[in-house]
């Protein structure tokens, strides 16, 4: 066991924000190491909804947030993402990170960057530098309002400085392989235990009065979502339950009209612990993504979470969904992939299948094979925290990632 080592996770999301892949991985890595979680930097001028749990501070804050996990909330100058000021942002963050490491009295074993921000290769020899690609950020430049040319430069720098590169999908791994990296595939996962008691969890009042069948969508409402498919579902007379925050000015006219329909309910951000109650109300879960380069390199969390809750999943055609659907004979038929023309018909058909105990158990067993524990073990092996899995009869032994860096 290597539990005294420290892994620094420089996240693209605050600890109290939307629970993404980086937080799930952090919570699993504590089986092998301590974790220092680093929030995205904020300034005193940053709006409150961009700094949940961080407060409006003039100085960085370091505090424990879970067993073996400490959280650093760095502070930067107002306008921290503007080109002129941006040059000062990450030197400030790195200085605050070094301050936190001194307070913790523990040097980093590994620094894991969940973005192209300038932290890799900055903390001395022997530190394992890890680029963890949870999305194709270059493909998503337009959605994030960033210059794709500038992002490509940051991408090249990060790949060059990384000792270990992890990619969320085969598509992203292939693109980075073309840039000279050798990525480890670490797809998104799910937390099966969180949904083990979903069918005995009370349904929240906002969803309790929706007539069956209830079609559910969990996650952030953003340009990734095909609102036309949501409108088609409501037009068909199906109940639609949407759980998740609206991002920025996404569909400022169409979405309010849709959300006001009598067969539609929208609930903003909810704590992860409350999600099972909403999933219990759903008869089928949907992943209605647009066909974009950004989405084609993504791995939606929601699809596996529907299956972990024992619900059928219907998705638009994404490479990650095809990868899941093709995973062994027990994965066949658990995820329905439909094009835009046939999407609502596929949703109705999935909702009409009786929810037998055998089918629910099959969905949950399949989801359990794709748990965050399994995903974190792949990453932990890649960075040398644990030995890699060795096939039976293979005498090969693991080598520490440090020796290769």
Structure tokens at 113: 């960057």
Structure tokens at 214: 């209830």
Long-range contacts of 352-355 (CB under 8 A, 24+ apart): 352/213, 353/312, 355/283, 355/310
Please list, in sequence order, all residues whose beta carbon lies within 8 angstroms of the beta carbon of residue 193, skipping any fewer than 6 positions away: none
For residues 392, 396, 400 and 405, what is the CA-based torsion angle, rounded to 10 degrees? -130
The domain of 213 spans: 193-368
Domain count, the chain: 2
Q: How far is CA 259 from the centre of its chain?
A: 25
Question: Of 135, 166, 185, which residue constitutes the final position of a domain?
Answer: 185
Residue 53 in domain: yes
Asked if residue 293 lies in contact with residue 353, where contact means CB atoms within 8 angstroms, the answer is no
State the helix-helix crossing angle for 357-368 and 301-308, rounded to 10 degrees. Answer: 140
State the helix-helix crossing angle for 343-352 and 227-235, rounded to 10 degrees. Answer: 60
Question: Of 185, 220, 253, which residue constitutes the final position of a domain?
Answer: 185
Residues 178 and 137 in one domain: yes
Residues 163 and 205 in one domain: no
The CATH number linked to 230 is 3.40.50.2000
CB atoms near residue 319 (< 10 Å) = 16
Residues 266 and 179 in one domain: no
**Tokens 């989801």 map to which residue?**
367
**Tokens 């890649």 map to which residue?**
382
Q: Give the pLDDT of the chain (405 residues) as one tens digit per residue.
A: 456 899 999 999 999 888 899 999 999 999 999 999 999 998 876 665 555 666 666 789 999 999 999 999 999 887 666 777 777 899 999 999 999 999 999 999 999 999 999 999 999 999 999 999 999 999 998 877 788 999 999 999 999 999 999 999 999 999 999 999 999 999 999 999 999 999 999 999 999 989 999 999 999 999 999 999 999 999 999 999 999 999 878 999 999 999 999 999 999 989 889 999 999 999 999 999 999 999 999 999 999 999 999 999 999 999 999 999 887 655 567 899 999 999 999 999 999 999 999 999 999 999 999 999 999 999 999 999 999 875 444 333 333 333 333
Residues 155 and 216 in one domain: no
Question: Of 163, 185, 207, which residue constitutes the final position of a domain?
Answer: 185
């Amino acid at each position: 066991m290597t539990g005294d080592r420290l892994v620094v996770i420089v996240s693209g999301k605050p600890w109290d924000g939307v629970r993404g892949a980086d937080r799930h991985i952090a919570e699993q890595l504590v089986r092998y190491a301590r974790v220092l979680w680093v929030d995205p930097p904020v300034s005193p001028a940053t709006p409150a909804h961009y700094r949940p749990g961080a407060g409006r501070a003039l100085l960085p804050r370091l505090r424990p947030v879970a067993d073996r996990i400490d959280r650093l909330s760095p502070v930067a100058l107002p306008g921290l993402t503007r080109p002129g000021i941006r040059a000062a942002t990450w030197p400030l963050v790195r200085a605050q990170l070094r301050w936190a490491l001194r307070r913790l009295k523990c040097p980093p074993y590994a620094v894991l960057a969940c973005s192209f921000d300038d932290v890799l290769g900055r903390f001395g020899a022997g530190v394992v530098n890890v680029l963890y690609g949870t999305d194709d950020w270059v493909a998503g430049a337009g959605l994030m309002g960033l210059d794709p040319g500038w992002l490509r430069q940051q991408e090249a720098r990060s790949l060059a400085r990384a000792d270990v590169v992890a990619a969320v999908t085969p598509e992203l791994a292939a693109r980075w392989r073309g840039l000279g990296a050798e990525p480890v595939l670490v797809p998104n996962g799910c937390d099966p235990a969180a949904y083990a008691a979903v069918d005995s969890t009370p349904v929240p009042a906002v969803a309790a009065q929706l007539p069956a069948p209830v079609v559910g969508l969990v996650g952030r409402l953003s340009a990734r979502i095909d609102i036309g498919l949501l409108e088609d579902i409501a037009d068909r007379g199906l109940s639609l339950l949407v759980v998740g925050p609206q991002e920025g000015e996404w569909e400022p006219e169409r979405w309010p009209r849709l959300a006001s329909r009598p067969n539609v309910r929208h609930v903003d951000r909810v704590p992860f612990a409350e999600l099972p109650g909403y999933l219990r109300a759903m008869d089928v879960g949907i992943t209605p993504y647009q066909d974009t380069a950004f989405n084609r390199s993504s791995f939606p969390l929601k699809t596996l979470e529907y299956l972990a809750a024992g619900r059928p999943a219907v998705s638009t055609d994404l490479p990650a969904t095809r990868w899941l659907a093709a995973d062994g004979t027990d994965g066949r038929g658990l995820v329905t992939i439909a094009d835009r023309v046939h999407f609502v018909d596929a949703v109705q058909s999935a909702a009409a299948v009786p929810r037998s105990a055998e089918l629910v158990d099959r969905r949950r067993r399949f989801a359990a094979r794709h748990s965050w524990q399994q995903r974190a073990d792949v990453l932990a092996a890649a960075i040398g925290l644990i030995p890699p899995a060795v096939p039976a009869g293979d005498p090969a032994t693991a080598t520490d990632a440090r020796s290769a860096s």
